[in-house]
Amino acid sequence: MNYTFVETPIGPLLVAGDAETVHEIHFAPAEPRDEWVRDDDALKYASVQLRSYFAGKRTSFDLPLAPSGTEFQRAVWDALRRIPFGETTTYGDIARAIGKPDAVRAVGAANGANPIPIVIPCHRVIGSDGSLTGFGGGLKAKRWLLDHEARIAGIRLF
């Protein structure tokens, strides 16, 4: 697997994948696995799209993804990808969307295990009371991402 780093306003992101697909994105401080090879060119397609997103020029991603997870996790991640840019939803809404209305906590766990944050927009999921809840990049980064998207979309979230 190859990796690269992408500088962003919320800190460097470690992007891992191959010439065809993105497998993982990690927030700082992140270290590549020993068997990974740094190859900025192999992941240029992902780097370009991430930079464009952070520059406010991209509202969706057109990247081939290969997240590794259970069938349930992949169902949650697919539902996350359907949350429109600049909008938020709740864990309960995601649970209902995948036909598992009683699995709110499991949805939260799957959301937290998302291996490709930002592209699979787990930051768009908030608590049922409208509060910001856990995020792998930290709540400050989550707030930044939501504010960034709201600004680009011309809406007010909070």
Q: What is the pLDDT of residues 32-70, one digit of tens each?
A: 999 999 999 999 999 999 999 999 999 999 999 999 999
Domain that holds residue 26: 2-54
- 37 with 107, same domain: the answer is no
User: pTM for this structure?
Assistant: 0.94
**88, 91, 115: which is closest to 15 by C-alpha?**
115
What's CA 69's distance to the chain center, in Å? 15
Strand, helix or coil for residue 37 = strand
> How many residues in the chain?
158
Q: Bin 140: left if φ > 0, else alpha if -120 < ψ < 50, else beta.
A: alpha
What is the pLDDT at residue 139? 95
- 47 with 97, same domain: the answer is no
What is the pLDDT at residue 16? 98
- At 12, which CATH number? 3.30.160
16 carries an active-site annotation: no
- 146 with 80, same domain: the answer is yes
- 77 with 143, same domain: the answer is yes
Instruction: Count the domains in the chain.
Output: 2
Q: Which residues of the chain are under the pLDDT cut of 50?
A: none
Active-site residue identified among 10, 80, 122, 145: 122
What is the pLDDT at residue 20? 83
